[in-house]
Structure 1
Amino acid sequence: MRYYLLAALSASFLALQGCSPTLNWRDVRTDQTPLTALFPCKPDQVVRTVSLGAKDVAMTMLGCDAGDATFTVTYADMRDAANPGAALDQWKRTTLGNMRVGSASELPFPIKGASVSPQPVRVEVRGVRPDGTAVAMHAVWFASGTQVFQAAVHADSVSAAVAESFFAGLRLQ
């Protein structure tokens, strides 16, 4: 009798573990933008002023950690639709420079509703964290009107399937 009780408890415990997935995907709508993102965890939000495109702008970052990876969506409103490409280019160069990435190949990133100029792009790189440890990053940069966006996954090793799920969940309304 005791054996069956122990077996039943073990089976129940294993079943409950299956009910708490590492990646618990949810739609998250960003404030004051047309973007909805599919996050694998509940993101925290932080806002800070940064210099981007020769002006100071409020940059908002939504981010969380799940499955040994960090997922972020960051955006800023340039308030001037004249040249979001320069801001995105500076943002990309700064990000890759901070990671000490020499060069990165870019691929087009299709996202319905994004501005076609500048063209949305995706990069997959290996670099280093501020503490000197290795990190992989899959990231996309795009614009919509006067707003510029970056979505990224950082980890020791980024799963292509997880990155695809995260990026496929980016939608502009």
Structure 2
Amino acid sequence: MPPRRPPTVRRSLFAAAGLALLAAACGPALDWRLVQPPGWSLAATLPCRPDTTERRVPLAGAPVALGLWSCQAGDHMFAIASADLGDPARVGPALQALGAAARANIGAQLQSEQPAQVPGMTPHPDARLQRLVGRRPDGQPVRSQVLVFAYGARVYQATVLGPQAGDAQARPLFESLGVRP
């Protein structure tokens, strides 16, 4: 039979175990961090360290350099994307195209839509928040929230995609967005 520990040692072990459980229960499941992509005039928080990429894509009839910052946290993907169109007249068609591409990527049905509200954004009727329901390429159901907006001639898209992707998952990203000239 192992020797019995003195009561103070047992209490200390219980206290340490209790603190560890409390820290695990109260600790953040996601590691939110501020990101400010160079040249974007946008600040956002993402729940994980993002990968970055840039590629030329057709957007509203013309090729543009689209930058993407994205990361995977749990079952959800969080992303911000941006392109400088160089011409404010192209913003409306580009915002519409970004929304349409998000729907097409998951064969989505539009669940709801409302005007976008991002501090500092340039007001535009095509700036929208869309809640989508669709399917992944493997047939699994997926939800997405997509926010498209602009600042001057630069368009932005913020996306949360995953099995739930409800307001609880999207709110921290969307509420962190802010355009800073």
Same fold per TM (> 0.5)?
yes
Q: Which residues of 2 match residues 135-146 of structure 1 at below 5 A?
A: 135-146=142-153
Decide whether the 8 Å contact of 2:109 with 2:132 is kept in 1.
Answer: no
* Distance (Å, rounded) in 1 between the aligned partners of 2:105 and 2:121: 26
Larger Rg: 2
User: Which residue in 2 is equivalent to 1:106?
Assistant: 113
State the Cα distance separating 1:16 from its structure 2 match.
5.4
State the Cα distance separating 1:3 from its structure 2 match.
5.6
Q: Aligned residues, how many?
A: 173
User: Which residue in 2 is equivalent to 1:171?
Assistant: 178
User: Which residue in 2 is equivalent to 1:43?
Assistant: 50
TM-score (norm 1): 0.88
In structure 2, give the amino acid aligned to 1:30. Answer: P
User: Which residue in 2 is equivalent to 1:158?
Assistant: 165
User: Which residue in 2 is equivalent to 1:27?
Assistant: 34
RMSD over equivalenced CA pairs, Å? 2.1
Change (3 A) 1:42 1:20: farther
State the Cα distance separating 1:165 from its structure 2 match.
1.5
In structure 1, give the amino acid aligned to 2:167. Answer: A
2:147 is equivalent to residue 133 of structure 1:
no
Decide whether the 8 Å contact of 1:45 with 1:60 is kept in 2.
Answer: yes
State the Cα distance separating 1:139 from its structure 2 match.
1.2
Structure 1 runs of 4+ with >4 Å offset: 2-6
2:24 equivalent among 8, 17, 22? 17
* Distance (Å, rounded) in 2 between the aligned partners of 1:130 and 1:148: 27
